[in-house]
């Protein structure tokens, strides 16, 4: 590995001048500058990041902590953050934490390794997160933590749109498949949906704490957890929704004929061959979430310690339709 000193010697200048020619070009004579830069490129100089970090105290790296690397929901978030980081010459450290304690522990252990930590849907108590933030720059994704820079997809608002759509189609009894207990965002979503549905004189039945898999959807379709008069279901995960769609159809329940299905993310809501996407869902700007949070962490100005909400968009697909008539009079 070729060092600054090698280039300096080749250029016939001192280390200091070589260093300046690269990091503060305006401080050296044009001729010297160009010679050093050319040689650096030719010789393939790569400044030792450790030495650099030791002096500057900055690593150029941001760490991302996610609950799980296998959950496809986090992929786009990581991708967005990673793209933003490499655009500014930085790198992304990544790790997964099984629970809130491990999250905080991990983030703290990252102190000298990264300039900041991006916590994605962290589960530690707010107080611990705020305490952590006093030790290392923090940004949070998909959890609104007061007094911390947080970036959340405004899915509560989006679920309102979803509920409105279903109500407009005529549904009054709607099921909701919720996420892990203690997800503050899921609670907000449920509240938002409740509001709309109740206002319209309907009822929302909630089952909770389901994991975001196809499997969950298939299982729920097989062991139906809702009352028989439920005519539409919203799942917080599009994989659950897809599982429901497949499972219901396998059991002879037409979707959307007898049951409408919708999802709170758009990961599996694909396929618009003229007939519209497969699933009615919320388009959630996951990459943008990651990008914004990463930008907040690497930006020269400290990130504002406030919650930033990013809007979602209703994606009308062919998994929702008018409810089947209650008594088989029509058709």
- The residues that touch a second copy, with contacts defined as CB under 8 A, are 1, 46-51, 53-54, 59, 61, 68-72, 75-76, 78-79, 82, 86, 91-96, 108-113, 213-215, 218-219, 222, 242-243, 245-247, 249, 268, 270-271, 273, 278
- Residue 137 contact, options DNA, a second copy, none, Cβ 5-8 Å cut-off depending on partner type: none
What are the tokens at 194?
């409740």
Identify the DSSP state of 325.
P
Q: Which is nearer to DNA, 50 or 134 (CB)?
A: 50
Q: Which is nearer to DNA, 42 or 254 (CB)?
A: 42
Reported in sequence order, the residue ranges of the chain that DSSP labels E, i.e. its strands, are: 61-66, 91-96, 116-120, 138-141, 150-153, 173-177, 203-207, 232-235, 260-263, 280-283, 307-310, 313-315
- 17 part of the interface to DNA, by CB under 7 A: yes
- Residue 184 contact, options DNA, a second copy, none, Cβ 5-8 Å cut-off depending on partner type: none
Q: Which is nearer to DNA, 55 or 327 (CB)?
A: 55
Contact 298, 115 (CB under 8 A): yes
- 59 part of the interface to DNA, by CB under 7 A: no
The burial class, CB within 10 Å (0-12 / 13-18 / 19+), for 155 is buried
Report the nearest approach of DNA to the CB of residue 72 (Å): 39
Label residues 275-288 b or e (16+ Cβ within 10 Å = b): eebbbbbbbbbbbb
Report the nearest approach of a second copy to the CB of residue 228 (Å): 21
- 28 part of the interface to DNA, by CB under 7 A: yes
Report the nearest approach of a second copy to the CB of residue 146 (Å): 26
The owner of tokens 């694909």 is 270
Q: Which is nearer to DNA, 16 or 98 (CB)?
A: 16
Report the nearest approach of a second copy to the CB of residue 95 (Å): 6
Three-class SS of residue 247?
Answer: helix
- 241 part of the interface to DNA, by CB under 7 A: no
Q: Which stretch binds DNA (CB under 7 A): 27-35, 76-84, 210-218, 284-292?
A: 27-35
- Residue 68 contact, options a second copy, DNA, none, Cβ 5-8 Å cut-off depending on partner type: a second copy
Report the nearest approach of a second copy to the CB of residue 226 (Å): 18
Q: Which stretch binds DNA (CB under 7 A): 46-54, 102-110, 168-176, 237-245?
A: 46-54
Q: What is each CA distance from 254 to 14, 217, 318, in whole angstroms?
A: 77, 15, 12
Report the nearest approach of a second copy to the CB of residue 49 (Å): 4
Q: Which is nearer to a second copy, 27 or 69 (CB)?
A: 69
- Residue 16 contact, options a second copy, DNA, none, Cβ 5-8 Å cut-off depending on partner type: DNA
The owner of tokens 């304690």 is 101
Distance CA 167, CA 171 (A): 5
Give the H/E segment covering residue 78: helix 74-87
Using CB under 7 A, which of 22, 161, 169, 307 touches DNA? 22
Distance CA 325, CA 302 (A): 57
Using CB under 7 A, which of 55, 134, 275, 331 touches DNA? 55
Report the nearest approach of DNA to the CB of residue 113 (Å): 13
Contact 101, 124 (CB under 8 A): yes
| Pairing, β 313-315 against β 280-283 | antiparallel
Q: What is each CA distance from 58 to 55, 64, 115, 135, in whole angstroms?
A: 8, 16, 6, 15
Identify the DSSP state of 73.
T
Would you tell me which residues interact with DNA (CB under 7 A)? 3-5, 12-17, 19-20, 22-24, 27-29, 31-33, 45, 47-48, 51-52, 54-56
């Amino acid at each position: 590995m070729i060092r600054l000193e090698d280039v300096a010697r080749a250029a016939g200048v001192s280390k200091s001048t070589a260093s300046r020619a690269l990091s503060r070009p305006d401080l050296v004579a044009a001729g010297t500058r160009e010679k050093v830069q050319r040689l650096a490129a030719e010789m393939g100089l790569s400044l030792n990041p450790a030495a650099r970090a030791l002096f500057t105290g900055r690593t150029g790296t941001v760490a991302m902590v996610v609950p799980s690397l296998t959950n496809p929901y986090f992929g786009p978030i990581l991708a967005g953050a990673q793209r933003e980081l490499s655009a500014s010459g930085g790198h992304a450290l990544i790790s997964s934490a099984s629970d809130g304690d491990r999250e905080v522990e991990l983030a703290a252990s990252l102190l000298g390794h990264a300039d900041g930590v991006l916590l994605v849907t962290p589960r530690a108590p707010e107080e611990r997160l705020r305490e952590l933030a006093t030790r290392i720059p923090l940004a949070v994704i998909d959890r609104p933590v007061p007094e911390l820079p947080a970036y959340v997809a405004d899915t509560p608002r989006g679920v309102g749109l979803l509920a409105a759509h279903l109500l407009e189609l005529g549904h009054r009894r709607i099921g909701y498949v919720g996420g892990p207990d203690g997800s503050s965002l899921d609670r907000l979503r449920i509240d938002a949906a409740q509001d709309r549905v109740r206002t319209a004189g309907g009822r929302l039945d909630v089952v909770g704490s389901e994991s975001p898999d196809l499997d969950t959807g298939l299982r729920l379709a097989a062991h139906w957890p809702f009352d028989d008069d439920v005519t539409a279901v919203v799942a917080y995960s599009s994989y659950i929704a897809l599982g429901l769609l497949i499972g219901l159809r396998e059991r002879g329940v037409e979707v959307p004929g007898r049951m409408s299905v919708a999802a709170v993310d758009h990961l599996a809501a694909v396929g618009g061959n003229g007939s519209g996407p497969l699933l009615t869902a919320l388009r959630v700007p996951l990459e943008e979430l990651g990008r914004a949070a990463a930008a907040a962490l690497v930006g020269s100005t400290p990130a504002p310690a406030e919650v930033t909400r990013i809007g979602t968009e209703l994606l009308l697909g062919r998994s929702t339709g008018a409810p089947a008539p209650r008594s088989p009079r029509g058709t």
